[in-house]
């Protein structure tokens, strides 16, 4: 593995090896001193051309827990506002001597371009509506910790699938790990090429609730035009929100995931978000462990023998 | 018939690692059993019992040896002695030049602080693994003492590290390869020496 750009075409044994490592790095995070010297002397650049709090902080925390140094690029305070191109910006940061870049960009494919231009590992921290692979890995880890495996689980991904890089990454990772995935959302918010995805699709959330092990709620993305394709937040909540009533229709062992930030009262009910079977905070904790595993694999070592 | 089948399997294994027919066995399963029992006795003797002893195997093959030593200590002391594992993959000083580190489990069954920790590994060679283990241990707490048990000491130390409990001293040349195999990590017990793997 030279870069982490997409979960599509990632082999199952690679995903499982990363999740195995993540469990071990998660153990490091529970220690009195949650830091190991594995990447001492390495520098990780977080290049977020699009707003992010949790993903950027999670990568920085992961890098620091591995004793790597971090440098941060944020577009509002950078030379981007002076008209510098993506390529020139990336080359400039690379020339400072960074060993790996985490890139988030509103344009699909930007991390692939960086991987062509630079000879250092690139991690896709989210590109447009395309991919967000570390999110999918941390979600799969959270589910695997709860159920032991994804093999044979039925997972419903609910909401605005079309504009969601989280959904796209998760569909491929979960299907590769053996889960059966059903997309639930208004037909206008299903991807146009959904027949090529390893999934089923429906618009009837209530029909699937009794059969699912995991409900994965997507955020309603107002910034990507979500509000223009359904009439109102309250109508969305009515049809696709995980209310207390819908939560009660789930099997007693089923769980709810959400990538955050959550819109309480829209896609997730107030009580549901705080329920013991809502794993939202476990996802955040696992995010650091998964990113440690990915950084270590790209910079420190791999499992080839 | 059984012997023949086993021999076929071993040849297959040796071939797979590029060792040809040049492997020779230097310790049998029975030898390993005796060594484990002796080391267990020595650990109990040195520490005046095993109440404060914390056995930590270094993955991958240090762990099954630590488990066996713990079982032997439990027999001697008629009380239970558990073994944990201490992974050093995140503490190596040669990640740059040797980017093939496997991350193994770290599982500490009782507090490190104040314990008499016995690190257990299969082969002691340059000493760099043990240096990394001492770093890893320091991040987990402050043991009263740290002792080192190894099944095979093959020499060629590069650091000022010496074992407290040794199964067998096997002088080797640096071009030779020492292969320790232990159930359940492997499918048989024993120690073999052969020409270095070409890789």
For residue A193, what is the domain's CATH number?
Answer: 3.40.50.1370
- Beta-bridged to residue B190, according to DSSP, are B181
* Res. A84 pLDDT band, cuts 50 70 90: confident
Domain-embedded: residue A238: yes
pLDDT of residue A76: 74
Stretch among A79-93, A143-157, B37-51 having the lowest mean pLDDT: A79-93
A146, A220: one domain: yes
For residue B94, pLDDT over 70 is answered with: no
By percentage, how much of chain B surpasses pLDDT 70? 83
Comparing A77 with B35, which gets the higher pLDDT? Answer: B35
A209, A269: one domain: yes
Per CB-CB distance under 8 Å, the chain A contacts of B90 are: 28, 36-38, 66, 296, 300
By percentage, how much of chain A surpasses pLDDT 70? 94
Domain-embedded: residue B12: no
Domain-embedded: residue A88: yes
Q: Which two tokens stand for residue B85?
A: 């594992």
CA–CA distance, A5 with B76 (Å, rounded to integer): 55
Domain-embedded: residue B122: yes
Q: Which two tokens stand for residue B159?
A: 């650091």
A214, A252: one domain: yes
A102, A83: one domain: yes
Stretch among A164-173, B26-35, B91-100 having the lowest mean pLDDT: B91-100
Tens digits of residue pLDDT in A202-246: 999 999 999 999 999 999 876 655 556 677 888 889 999 999 999
Domain-embedded: residue B117: yes
Contact state of A24 with B106 under an 8 Å Cβ cutoff: yes
Q: Which stretches of chain B are assigned E, i.e. beta strand? A: 24-27, 53-57, 83-85, 116-124, 145-153, 165-169, 176-181, 190-195
A139, A90: one domain: no
The number of folded domains in chain A is 2
A200, A140: one domain: yes
What is the rounded average pLDDT for all residues in chain A?
92
Domain-embedded: residue A3: no
The number of folded domains in chain B is 1
A169, A90: one domain: no
Per CB-CB distance under 8 Å, the chain B contacts of A302 are: 99-100
Query: What pTM does this model have?
Result: 0.86
Domain-embedded: residue A235: yes
For residue B84, pLDDT over 80 is answered with: yes
For residue A36, pLDDT over 90 is answered with: yes
Domain-embedded: residue B19: no
Looking at the partner chain, which of A20, A36, A303 has a beta carbon nearest the beta carbon of B90? Answer: A36
Contact state of B90 with A32 under an 8 Å Cβ cutoff: no
- The highest-confidence range among A138-142, B3-7, B101-105, by mean pLDDT, is A138-142
A97, A56: one domain: yes
Q: Which residues in A have their CB inside 8 Å of a CB on B?
A: 20-21, 24-25, 27-28, 31-33, 35-39, 66, 293, 296, 300-305
pLDDT of residue A224: 57
The pLDDT of A46-65, averaged and rounded, is 94
A146, A274: one domain: yes
pLDDT of residue B9: 42
* Res. A22 pLDDT band, cuts 50 70 90: very high
A121, A198: one domain: no
Tens digits of residue pLDDT in A101-129: 999 999 999 999 999 999 999 999 999 99
Domain-embedded: residue A2: no
ipTM here: 0.74
State the burial class of residue A173 (Cβ atoms within 10 Å of its Cβ: 0-12, 13-18, 19+).
buried
Of A124, A123, A69, A127, nearest in space to A98 by CA? A69
For A290, other C-beta atoms within 10 Å of its C-beta total 30
Phi, psi torsion values for A91, nearest 5 degrees: -65, -35
CA–CA distance, A257 with A281 (Å, rounded to integer): 9
Domain-embedded: residue B162: yes
Contact state of A25 with B106 under an 8 Å Cβ cutoff: no
* Res. B196 pLDDT band, cuts 50 70 90: low
- Structural domain including B112 reads 26-88+102-195
Comparing A212 with B8, which gets the higher pLDDT? Answer: A212
**CATH assignment of the domain containing B177:** 3.40.50.2020
Contact state of B100 with A301 under an 8 Å Cβ cutoff: yes
A95, A149: one domain: no
Domain-embedded: residue A1: no
- Structural domain including A77 reads 12-132+284-299
Tens digits of residue pLDDT in B133-181: 999 999 999 999 999 999 999 999 999 999 999 999 999 998 899 999 9
Looking at the partner chain, which of A25, A32, A301 has a beta carbon nearest the beta carbon of B95? Answer: A301
For residue A270, pLDDT over 60 is answered with: yes
**Residue of chain A with shortest Cα separation from B104:** A24
What would you report as the CA-atom Rg of chain B, rounded to the nearest whole angstrom?
Answer: 17
B141 touches chain A (CB under 8 A): yes
Looking at the partner chain, which of A21, A302, A305 has a beta carbon nearest the beta carbon of B99? Answer: A302
Domain-embedded: residue B2: no
B60 touches chain A (CB under 8 A): no
Per CB-CB distance under 8 Å, the chain B contacts of A38 are: 89-92, 95
Query: CA of B77, closest CA in chain A: separation in Å?
Result: 31
Domain-embedded: residue A7: no
Domain-embedded: residue B21: no
pLDDT of residue A275: 96
A185, A91: one domain: no
pLDDT of residue A233: 83
Domain-embedded: residue A5: no
Stretch among A146-150, A162-166, A290-294 having the lowest mean pLDDT: A162-166
Domain-embedded: residue B73: yes
């Amino acid at each position: 593995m030279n870069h982490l750009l997409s979960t599509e075409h990632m082999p199952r044994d690679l995903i499982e090896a990363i999740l195995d490592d993540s469990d071990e790095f998660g153990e490091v995070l529970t220690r009195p001193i949650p830091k190991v010297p594995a990447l001492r002397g390495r520098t990780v650049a977080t290049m977020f051309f699009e707003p992010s709090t949790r993903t950027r902080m999670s990568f920085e925390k992961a890098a620091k827990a591995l004793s790597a140094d971090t440098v941060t690029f944020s577009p509002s305070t950078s030379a981007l506002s002076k008209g510098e191109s993506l390529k020139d910006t990336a080359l400039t940061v690379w020339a400072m001597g960074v060993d790996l870049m985490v890139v988030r960009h509103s344009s699909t494919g930007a991390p692939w371009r960086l991987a062509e231009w630079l000879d250092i590992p690139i991690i896709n921290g989210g590109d447009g509506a395309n991919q967000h692979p570390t999110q999918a890995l941390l979600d799969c880890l959270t589910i695997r910790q709860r159920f032991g495996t994804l093999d044979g689980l039925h997972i419903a991904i609910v909401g605005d699938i079309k504009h969601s890089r989280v959904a796209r990454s998760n569909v491929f990772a979960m299907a590769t790990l053996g889960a059966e995935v059903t997309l639930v959302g208004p037909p206008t918010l299903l991807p146009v090429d959904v027949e090529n995805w390893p999934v089923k699709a429906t618009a009837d959330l209530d029909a699937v609730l009794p059969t699912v092990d995991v409900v994965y709620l997507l955020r309603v993305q107002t910034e990507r035009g979500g509000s223009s394709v359904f009439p109102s937040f309250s109508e969305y909540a009515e049809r696709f929100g995980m209310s207390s009533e819908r939560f009660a229709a789930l099997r007693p062992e089923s769980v709810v995931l959400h990538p955050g930030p959550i819109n309480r009262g829209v896609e997730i009910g107030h009580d549901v978000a705080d329920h013991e079977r809502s794993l939202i905070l476990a996802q955040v904790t696992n995010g650091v462990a998964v990113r440690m595993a990915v950084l270590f694999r790209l910079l420190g070592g791999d499992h080839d023998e | 018939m059984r012997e023949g089948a086993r021999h076929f399997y071993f040849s297959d294994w040796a071939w797979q690692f590029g060792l040809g027919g040049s492997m020779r066995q230097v310790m049998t399963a029975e030898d390993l059993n005796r060594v484990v029992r002796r080391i267990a006795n020595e650990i109990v003797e040195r520490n005046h019992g095993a109440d404060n002893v914390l056995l930590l195997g270094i993955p991958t093959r240090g762990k099954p040896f630590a488990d066996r030593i713990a079982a032997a200590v439990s027999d001697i002391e008629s009380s239970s002695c558990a073994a944990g594992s201490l992974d050093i993959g995140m503490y190596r000083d040669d990640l740059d030049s040797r980017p093939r580190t496997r991350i193994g489990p770290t599982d500490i069954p009782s507090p490190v602080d104040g314990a008499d920790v016995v690190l257990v590994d299969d082969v002691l060679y340059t000493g760099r693994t043990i240096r990394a283990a001492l770093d890893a241990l320091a991040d987990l707490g402050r043991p009263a003492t740290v002792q080192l048990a190894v099944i095979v000491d093959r020499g060629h130390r590069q650091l000022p590290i010496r074992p407290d409990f040794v199964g067998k001293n096997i002088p080797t040349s640096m071009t030779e390869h020492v292969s320790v195999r232990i159930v359940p990590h492997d499918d048989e017990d024993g120690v073999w020496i052969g020409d270095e793997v070409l890789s």
